[in-house]
Chain A
Amino acid sequence: MWYYEKKLQYPIHIKRCDLKMAKVLAAQLGGPDGELAASLRYMNQRYTMPTGKIKGLLTDIATEELAHVEMISTMMYQLMEGATPKQLQEAGLAGYFTQHGRAVFPADANGVPFTTAYFQSMDDPVTNLHEDMAAEQKARTTYEHLMMQTDDPDLLEPLRFLRQREVIHFQRFGEALDEVNFHNGMKKVH
């Protein structure tokens, strides 16, 4: 089970209004390589992982990804708070405003709603971990695309933080894959 800590993993306070960034940040909330897909992917895959280490790693990374969902949602919330319908229209958010107002809703940067079809959960740890490593790289690239579209330090600092977490997660999943391969090699010997 889980506890809630009344804080963000990394502080966010956006002072400048930039609705175009709110629109594209959605990619990391409800997009194919976003944080929600990441959390649910690892959360579901963990049950059939072969070792205690990897069960633990997936539990811990799935949990951290939820904190990242909260950070992205916070950025979208703060960017849209107080915006007028006209401003939202001009930023390409007319459809979003019509369907959701200024609420946070998990869809991608083009408004396509989140779906679990974005990820897989298999009873083969090698298959899962390869997907997980690819997912971390795709999320890293998405963060880089986001960072290219703003020069606001209030956005860049948390985005840089989140990008770096993808790099670390990729590294840990790589170690998990080595562990599984080692484990499988041992099995063949006996």
Chain B
Amino acid sequence: MNYGYRQWEGNSQGNRQARGNGGCQCAMPVDRAKLLWDIQRTDFLINDLQLYLDMHPDCGAALEDFNSLSQLSMELKEQYYQAFGPIINNGYQSSEFPWQWTEEPWPWQKNFMTGR
């Protein structure tokens, strides 16, 4: 199958960060940069599978990966939402008072990953 898992996994930063914390559920402060990186990595794989599946709708293995990664992405975005507010606009996630969406940093700002 020719979709781009390797593109992300082969990246030095990916190898360094993708290992995660072994699914530890302990109540540690959320590492914003790591969580964002995990979301970006997962959504990249999903996006790549999306294009692949557009042209290969009967590839069961790709579809299985797509479905499990979609589930993972939703869970990661829920974690992000709990810690930092909505990551998707227009009512995909609700807001606390006051309106959270416009809180900085925005993605093009240099401190976006760290939030500091």
Interchain CA distance A169-B12 in the complex, whole Å: 23
How many angstroms from the CA of A65 to the CA of B37 in the assembled complex? 20
Nearest-CB distance from A82 to chain B (Å)? 10
Q: Do B86 and A6 touch (CB < 8 A)?
A: yes
For B106, give its contact among A6, A165, A176 (CB under 8 Å). A6
Known: A53-B55, A74-B107. A6 touches B4 (CB 8 A): no
Tell me the count of chain B residues lying within 8 A, CB to CB, of chain A: 35
Q: Which residues, 167 to 182 on A, are CB-close (under 8 Å) to B? A: 168-169, 171-172, 175-176, 179
Tally of A interface residues using CB under 8 Å: 36
| B108 and A73 within 8 A (CB) | yes
Q: How far is the CA of A14 from the CA of B111 in the complex (A)?
A: 10
Is A8 within 8 A of B108, CB to CB? yes
A53-B54, A171-B2, A172-B55 given as contacts; is B36 within 8 A of A74 (CB)? Answer: no
Sampled A-B contacts (11; CB under 8 Å): A3-B90, A5-B43, A6-B101, A9-B44, A64-B51, A77-B108, A157-B12, A157-B13, A161-B11, A168-B48, A168-B51
Asked if B89 and A3 make an inter-chain contact with CB atoms under 8 angstroms apart, the answer reads yes
CB distance from A72 to the nearest CB of B (A): 11
CB under 8 Å from chain B, chain A span 138-165: 157, 160-161, 164-165
Report how far A57 CA is from B106 CA in the complex, Å.
Answer: 29
Contact A7 B39 (CB under 8 A): yes
Alpha-carbon distance between A172 and B107 when the two chains are bound, in angstroms = 28
Residues of B bordering A, CB below 8 Å: 2-4, 7, 11-13, 36-37, 39-40, 43-44, 47-48, 50-52, 54-57, 86-90, 92, 101, 106-108, 110, 112-113
A85 CB to closest chain B CB (Å) equals 21
Across the interface, name the chain A residue whose C-beta is closest to B77: A5
B51 touching A78, Cβ below 8 Å: no
A11-B113, A168-B4 provided; 7 other pairs, C-beta below 8 A? Answer: A6-B87, A7-B112, A9-B44, A9-B47, A74-B107, A161-B11, A172-B52
Whether A61 is near chain B, meaning CB under 8 Å from some CB there, is: yes
A9 and B57 within 8 A (CB): no
* A11 & B36 in contact (Cβ 8 Å cutoff): yes
| A131 lies within 8 A of chain B by Cβ | no
Chain B CB within 8 A of A123 CB? no
Q: Which residue of B lies closest to A10 (CB)?
A: B40
Q: A60-B51, A179-B55 are in contact. Are A164 and B90 (CB under 8 A)?
A: no
* Docked complex Cα distance between A150 and B41 (Å): 25
Q: Give Cα A56 to B54, complex, Å.
A: 6
Bound CA–CA A57/B3 (angstroms): 14
A70 surroundings in chain B (CB, below 8 A): 107-108
